[in-house]
Structure 1
């Protein structure tokens, strides 16, 4: 069962969450029941009648892979916490980061066409045996915890609390990516019935907007534009229409999903951070990434870009800070592209946005010496139009249809 992919998912999850809503409106929370709901929903999400083990309905390959991956990451986190107390060395930190990434790297390589590997054993996909829905988003959370342990922002770990964070079902498949300390704070601080009533009201609003985005607008664009255009044989104008249609489809489909995830998080008393903030109103490429898939963008900014810049600057490997920042942007977006998949068009998409950041950096330097004489509103409007077209072309690269 794909989260937010069909109406039975909504009906089952909302039915299970009715006691949570009743308790919430009384200003109470029962973590034991929340945990039971999570377990039930995880079984339904990973259940696949075509891939059961020993004929047991809930023992799918994905479920077994998920449980083993969870145990593996919890052991890594706990062991790294013990090791850091003895010696907090860079090689040790890098080793644990690599170990945390390793399962996802194997899955990405296996599903990639670049290596010419079929990825099948008999009738089973190897990806389905060692991978599962949402593996990358759980890994992001694990890496964030390991990094905060190294930074000594996390000094003690309760594995049950970490497990709740990693297995939180509303956001397990595609985010938004929450932070452990923020998530845990929501659980421990509790809420009043007035606060929960406000969260519930927002959740209902998000669900309705989510249905509008994902099941009406995105569905219509997909049916009327994307599926109706044969990109390879289309003329230039139809390809341009496809590019814009695909851009809007990506936004409304994923923004709709994110609103569902946030809504169900709110129902469970967790204020999961937003993922989108009117991205097509962005005035420049940096503004766009502060609005688009924000939890992922901010995660890469904090865990990749900022750490690279800090490491290089601290060790004085590069004297010019502007050059360091530009290299950081290229590395940041290349890794982000590879995360989507080990395919040339994903890598090209990442490098494309890295180049845009570098070029915009030079543009900012130029504008400091040569300010616009036009009114600010006109400058902003020009920036929005240019940014939208540049971003839409990037999505065309992302689609793999360009070449």
Structure 2
């Protein structure tokens, strides 16, 4: 089931909201159980064969977590339990997500014809990483005892289950345990609806609206110089508004239940460095990779050379996390290289004179954006050969066909760029900050601003009108 569908907006969400708050009459656990069951129903609409896999994953990780939290085991058995837990999670992820990729490479190397066809469960990367973080923190002594119902809801919570954000237990489970979230809050529901409407507008109007232009670069044999750039930039902004729209919709839906999701997207195309980009793009994934991969590898604690090695390993695995293909590996390698260059410049580059700070910032912004666009070509392409072909066309100004159609398409790209670069993002408009809370006073003191209500209603209406076809979010495939 898609957030941008009539069945979700007008049937599923209202029924689940009503049931969640009505269930409070039957005890503190009833709303939690109701929401967990509703999340399983949501997941089963498009992935019913894998509901058992999801439930098995929850049971397995809860049991291992219980062993780690109980502290009944000594150091060696506890480490063994952690190893079994993390290995089990990674094995399941590897079988379903990477078996076909590994088999294809095996066949290419040894000229064999082994065939492996395994369907990829939607959301498996997100709920696997979520639970791995839980197990690691349980081993570190950072997890309290949690009821099974709260843990199950933490994993299955439907606003994040399909495409993130990657949730952390310390942010979410206390909210599920709190009685405050089990009573309807009109202000939270209104602000949630506004944020949802803005996200829906981004998805169905902006992201889906520019999607046809992507084919200019990626779906024809030999695009011209301008067509290749238009197509690559179209995908750059399609992915931006698609992921930004999903992140807004997830936050808005959750707010209607009185539950705050972490911010996952913060105008990344306004970044002036790759370091800054990764503080803004898929923020919960960046935090996971930092805390549970980069830091355990040694981070920057063992000298600058090993820091660069750790950055490359982290980004290579981050690229592979997105998909089982060499294009994603190259995308991750490029960003690893970008980060190494960025950190080396910070450490060894000459200081910028004060009088050149502004033009230097503009140059840094443009170089960052160009580097991101080049990497997105690999992210979108079906193969390395296809990606290199598109980049070759983008580097050949001798083959340019700039007619009236291309002028109109370029104008469309310019409008999208202006919005992404200069317009305030959703959290700036409504006040949703990086600490998972609204800026300002407490909830009871919020004032409903008429312009925000009218603007949110207009965004919601146009977003609804934009629902014309089956249009999955791009991050559903990861």
Tell me how far apart the structure 2 counterparts of residues 218 and 82 of structure 1 sit (CA, whole Å): 47
1:3-402, aligned counterparts within 5 Å? 3-19=2-18, 31-47=29-45, 60-82=48-70, 85-87=73-75, 93-112=82-101, 113-115=104-106, 118-120=115-117, 126-127=118-119, 131-191=120-180, 196-223=185-212, 225-229=213-217, 230-309=219-298, 313=301, 318=302, 321-367=303-349, 369-400=350-381, 401-402=386-387
SS of 1:342's partner is: coil
Inter-CA distance 328–198: structure 2 relative to 1 (3 Å threshold): farther
SS of 2:180's partner is: coil
Inter-CA distance 202–378: structure 2 relative to 1 (3 Å threshold): farther
User: What whole-Å deviation, never above 9, does each CA across 1:148-167 have from its counterpart, x for those lacking one?
Assistant: 11211115343332112111
* Cα RMSD, aligned residues only: 2.9
Q: Are the aligned partners of 2:28 and 2:179 in contact in 1 as well (CA < 8 Å)?
A: no
User: What whole-Å deviation, never above 9, does each CA across 1:293-344 have from its counterpart, x for those lacking one?
Assistant: 111111111111122126x94xxxx5xx212221111111011111112211
Q: Are the aligned partners of 1:309 and 1:328 in contact in 2 as well (CA < 8 Å)?
A: yes
Tell me how far apart the structure 2 counterparts of residues 20 and 152 of structure 1 sit (CA, whole Å): 36
Tell me how far apart the structure 2 counterparts of residues 328 and 64 of structure 1 sit (CA, whole Å): 36
TM-score normalised by L of structure 1: 0.83
Q: How far apart are 1:115 and its partner, in Å?
A: 4.7
In structure 1, the partner of 2:466 is: none
Inter-CA distance 30–266: structure 2 relative to 1 (3 Å threshold): farther
Q: How far apart are 1:355 and its partner, in Å?
A: 0.6
User: What whole-Å deviation, never above 9, does each CA across 1:24-79 have from its counterpart, x for those lacking one?
Assistant: 9x9x996513532441342243235xx9xxxxxxxx42222222232233233234
Tell me how far apart the structure 2 counterparts of residues 263 and 70 of structure 1 sit (CA, whole Å): 26
Tell me how far apart the structure 1 counterparts of residues 11 and 100 of structure 2 sit (CA, whole Å): 31
Q: Are the aligned partners of 1:47 and 1:62 in contact in 2 as well (CA < 8 Å)?
A: no
TM-score normalised by L of structure 2: 0.71
Tell me how far apart the structure 2 counterparts of residues 115 and 68 of structure 1 sit (CA, whole Å): 30
Q: How far apart are 1:92 and its partner, in Å?
A: 5.3
Tell me how far apart the structure 2 counterparts of residues 333 and 12 of structure 1 sit (CA, whole Å): 40
SS of 1:290's partner is: helix
Inter-CA distance 189–379: structure 2 relative to 1 (3 Å threshold): farther
Q: Are the aligned partners of 1:279 and 1:291 in contact in 2 as well (CA < 8 Å)?
A: yes
Q: Any unmatched runs of 5+ in structure 1? A: 52-59, 121-125
Tell me how far apart the structure 1 counterparts of residues 60 and 106 of structure 2 sit (CA, whole Å): 27
Larger displacement relative to structure 2 (33-42 or 4-13)? 33-42
Tell me how far apart the structure 2 counterparts of residues 182 and 169 of structure 1 sit (CA, whole Å): 16
Q: Are the aligned partners of 2:189 and 2:257 in contact in 1 as well (CA < 8 Å)?
A: no
Tell me how far apart the structure 1 counterparts of residues 275 and 238 of structure 2 sit (CA, whole Å): 22
Q: Any unmatched runs of 5+ in structure 2? A: 108-113, 389-478
User: What whole-Å deviation, never above 9, does each CA across 1:101-142 have from its counterpart, x for those lacking one?
Assistant: 11011111234354555433xxxxx32xxx522111111111
Q: Are the aligned partners of 2:184 and 2:257 in contact in 1 as well (CA < 8 Å)?
A: no
Q: How far apart are 1:227 and its partner, in Å?
A: 3.3
Tell me how far apart the structure 2 counterparts of residues 70 and 294 of structure 1 sit (CA, whole Å): 24
Q: Are the aligned partners of 2:20 and 2:182 in contact in 1 as well (CA < 8 Å)?
A: no
In structure 2, the partner of 1:55 is: none
